[in-house]
Amino acid sequence: MQSDSPLTSLKGVGPALAVKLGKLNLYRVDDLLFLLPLRYEDRTQLVKIGALQTGARCLVSGEVLLSETVFRGRRNLLVRLSDGSAQLTLRFFHFSRQQQAQFQVGKHVTCFGEVRRGKSGFEMIHPEYRVLRDEQEAVTDDSLTPIYPATEGVQQGRLRNLTDQALAHMVASPPEELLPGSIKEKLGMPSLADAILYLHRPPADADVKEMLAGTHPCQQRLAFEELLAHYLSLRKLRALAATEDAVAMIDGNEDVSGFVADLPFRLTAAQDRVVGDILNDLAQPHPMMRLIQGDVGSGKTVVAAIACIKSIACGVQAAIMAPTEILAEQHWRSFSDWFRPLGIEPAWLSGSQRAAARRESLAAIANGNAPLVVGTHALFQEGVDFHRLGLVVIDEQHRFGVHQRMALRDKGISADGQPHQLVMTATPIPRTLAMAAYADLDTSVIDELPPGRQPVSTIAIPETRRGEVVERVRLACASGQQAYWVCPLIEESEVLDYQAAEASYQMLTEALPDLRIGLVHGRMRAAEKERGMKTFKEGLIQLLVATTVIEVGVDVPNASLMIIENSERMGLSQLHQLRGRVGRGAVQSHCVLLYRSPLGRIAKERLAVLRDTNDGFVVAQRDLELRGPGELLGTKQTGLPDYRIANLVRDAELMPQVQITAETLHKQSEHRSAAIVRRWLGDASRYGKV
């Protein structure tokens, strides 16, 4: 396989076409082989017109009985065909005189298109067609016709021609078989060349339904190798980290024990277990790379605080980065409450800071007077210099890009080596997905909620019953509890007919004049948001109307009622995160999902999942099945591209065998491992070179 040959080496590919093909991520001859068809069309057999069915895409052939131009609102060319079994009308809205002249009565025409039911029977609109010469027989294809992903300026015929050339190259120079023979035999896999050839040019008797479902053995062969390439790449990154130096944090055990003993609550068994994992990692002379998964309210923050205490006691700085100012401010307040009694004043750094405060923070970070720094993206920007950064904590890690996380890590590279890394997420990741996406990280799970927490009762109500919901809010607040009212947008929008936060605030202020109501949204200045959240937390506000800026990080134990507008428009994980803002006190909490009818199938399923379970892992698994891995992992932010062939949901069952194969290759052949990564990810492995 000529993996390094540019597309311009193919016949008919010049610089202009190469640019267009680049929009499909096609740069090498090899890339064409992995551009699999989206679907297939059957042009291997002629279908009798009398046997046509509405919606089918078929190849038919018949004699022209009539050809005429009619005016029915617009100019139409109508061509009536017959094959003896029935008649079919071909309809063209855009046509030339030359086309019209082709359809002479008595001529035979072969055409392919979608069958529709018209006023005078079956018809095809703008079908592909060929007018046959006298005595010429209708020609059928030997294999199913592939339909490839398209881009402007590149027609299907051109893509089929280019893949024909690439396949010819492959047949002449077959690709090296990189999978161990024992694995192929165990899984009943075809060779790579056979799988590629079959999927591009499947025979007439191929099981199209199986191929459309992505479960054909040939597709599974390619998906397996692609998953293996990604897994090997991540494992390589992990192996590289193990060769790097880091500060071995051996001291500070008494500081940690004292901090834990002074907490106003006891750690759960799950928190104790995860703290043990972290402290063991920090004691090693190599950088920790650990992911902490924990459902909303499971107590990840205090676990991170213990890691920071350990780091500070060992003479290095710790930095905590959060994706939003509200979440970062929440962390800053929590850490300040915990650390000030210990004589540690956490520094604050954000993009909205005033110049004088920013200069003060930067100076303290640079001279080491700030052993703990909490902030947003501002932490890794130019001009931020750490004195001795030894620990990086990243919350809601899937909201940051790879480059952003690495930029903060790079701030700590020094003579000591690299800083330890602890990343946290409140979005539980199903095990098979975590295997594929986080193979470079050790994973710990806080799978236990603090004692006394009651599951949040969740109901879905149509917005036509809004009055009942408003009354429920009044009663809850009258009993001394607090409530959230969450809306997707800040202002009214003609395009998106959501209930906007400002409109809801106005409506609720008029409907509930006796309640103290606040408003928080993303367009407010940081000081305004801070003031709004602070007054709500202190109980001075009974009802907080907010956008989804309160999705993470807000902890108000007295809030026991959550109302979510337009819940049908939100994803499962986001709804679960929002619901997690209540249920943090001893009182039974409730979440009301307001929706607009009619509900689509997926929206119904989402709301049903939330009614049925509070388990974040169950929610995450269903979210994965309904929406795919992109949203769950934040791939748009992280830069993890879509897999070309593999599907992390559909092919999850392959991951255990992928892990076994990776270990086999690691022991038997580093050459093959590197070649598999190179085949699928190119020479610049994005994981290893970010």
- For residue 131, give the CATH number of its domain: 2.40.50.140
Both tokens of 442, joined, read 């050790």
Domain co-membership, 339 together with 355: yes
Domain co-membership, 422 together with 275: yes
- Show the DSSP H helices in 402-493 as ranges: 402-410, 431-437, 466-478
Quick one: pLDDT at residue 480?
95
- Per DSSP, the three-state class of 390 is strand
Both tokens of 117, joined, read 């039911």
Beta bridge partners of 57: 114
The answer to whether position 676 is within a domain reads: no
Domain co-membership, 307 together with 364: yes
Domain co-membership, 260 together with 382: yes
The answer to whether position 26 is within a domain reads: yes
Kindly indicate the confidence band of residue 374, based on its pLDDT and cuts at 50, 70 and 90.
very high
Domain co-membership, 58 together with 167: no
Q: What is the DSSP letter of 154?
A: B
Last residue of a domain, one of 613, 634, 666: 613
The most confident of 266-280, 544-558, 624-638, by mean pLDDT: 266-280
Kindly indicate the confidence band of residue 20, based on its pLDDT and cuts at 50, 70 and 90.
very high
Domain co-membership, 502 together with 549: yes
Return all residues near 508 (Cβ < 8 A) that are at least 6 apart. Answer: 470, 473, 485, 515, 517, 543, 545
Last residue of a domain, one of 581, 613, 645: 613
Give the residue with greater pLDDT, 206 vs 584.
Answer: 206
User: How is the beta sheet containing 543-546 ordered, strand by strand?
Assistant: 457-462, 590-595, 559-564, 482-486, 543-546, 517-520
HEC per residue, 195-242: HHHHHHCCECCCCHHHHHHCCCHHHHHHHHHHHHHHHHHHHHHHHHHH
The answer to whether position 233 is within a domain reads: no
Do residues 458 and 606 touch, judged by C-beta distance below 8 A?
no
Do residues 417 and 241 touch, judged by C-beta distance below 8 A?
no
Quick one: pLDDT at residue 543?
96
Domain co-membership, 304 together with 430: yes
* Region 606-625 average pLDDT: 84
Q: What is the pTM of this model?
A: 0.71
Quick one: pLDDT at residue 283?
96
pLDDT tens per residue, range 318-371: 999 988 777 788 889 889 999 999 999 999 998 888 899 999 999 999 999 999
- For residue 282, give the CATH number of its domain: 3.40.50.300
Measure the CA–CA gap between 391 and 319, rounded to whole angstroms. Answer: 6
Quick one: pLDDT at residue 403?
64
Last residue of a domain, one of 140, 157, 185: 140
The answer to whether position 655 is within a domain reads: no
| Helix or strand run (H / E) with residue 359 | helix 355-367
Domain co-membership, 159 together with 32: yes
Measure the CA–CA gap between 382 and 230, rounded to whole angstroms. Answer: 32
Both tokens of 126, joined, read 């703008």
Quick one: pLDDT at residue 393?
95
Do residues 519 and 505 touch, judged by C-beta distance below 8 A?
yes
Write the single-letter amino acid at 217.
P
pLDDT tens per residue, range 252-293: 999 999 999 999 889 999 999 999 999 999 999 999 999 998
Quick one: pLDDT at residue 510?
95
| Helix or strand run (H / E) with residue 258 | helix 253-262
Measure the CA–CA gap between 427 and 395, rounded to whole angstroms. Answer: 11
**Residue among 349, 277, 344 at smallest CA distance from 312:** 344
Measure the CA–CA gap between 504 and 122, rounded to whole angstroms. Answer: 52
Kindly indicate the confidence band of residue 635, based on its pLDDT and cuts at 50, 70 and 90.
very low
The answer to whether position 413 is within a domain reads: yes
Beta bridge partners of 28: 6
Dihedral sign of CA atoms 27, 32, 34, 35 in order: positive
Residue 556 has pLDDT above 90, yes or no: no
Write the single-letter amino acid at 462.
P
Quick one: pLDDT at residue 21?
92
Quick one: pLDDT at residue 636?
39
The answer to whether position 225 is within a domain reads: no
Q: Identify the domain containing residue 411 by its residue range.
A: 253-446
The answer to whether position 287 is within a domain reads: yes
Quick one: pLDDT at residue 180?
87
Domain co-membership, 431 together with 482: no
Quick one: pLDDT at residue 449?
80
* Region 511-532 average pLDDT: 86
HSE-CB of 389 using CA atoms within 13 angstroms: 26
Do residues 307 and 422 touch, judged by C-beta distance below 8 A?
yes
Kindly indicate the confidence band of residue 151, based on its pLDDT and cuts at 50, 70 and 90.
confident
* Region 633-656 average pLDDT: 68
What's the burial of 595, exposed, middle or buried (CB within 10 Å: 0-12/13-18/19+)?
A: buried
Domain co-membership, 542 together with 588: yes
Domain co-membership, 13 together with 158: yes
The answer to whether position 258 is within a domain reads: yes
Quick one: pLDDT at residue 641?
44
How many other CB atoms are there within 10 angstroms of residue 540's CB atom?
10
Residue 96 has pLDDT above 50, yes or no: yes
pLDDT tens per residue, range 401-425: 556 767 778 888 888 899 999 999 8
Please count the structural domains in the chain: 4
Quick one: pLDDT at residue 490?
54
Beta bridge partners of 484: 544, 562
Domain co-membership, 106 together with 120: yes
**Residue among 416, 421, 453, 451 at smallest CA distance from 438:** 421
Hunting for tokens 């897999």 — which residue is that? 643
Residue 497 has pLDDT above 60, yes or no: no
Do residues 46 and 138 touch, judged by C-beta distance below 8 A?
yes
pLDDT tens per residue, range 41-57: 889 999 999 999 999 89
Dihedral sign of CA atoms 605, 607, 613, 614 in order: positive
Quick one: pLDDT at residue 686?
42
Measure the CA–CA gap between 110 and 126, rounded to whole angstroms. Answer: 13
* Region 237-253 average pLDDT: 89
Residue 507 has pLDDT above 70, yes or no: yes
Give the residue with greater pLDDT, 295 vs 78.
Answer: 78
Residue 91 has pLDDT above 60, yes or no: yes
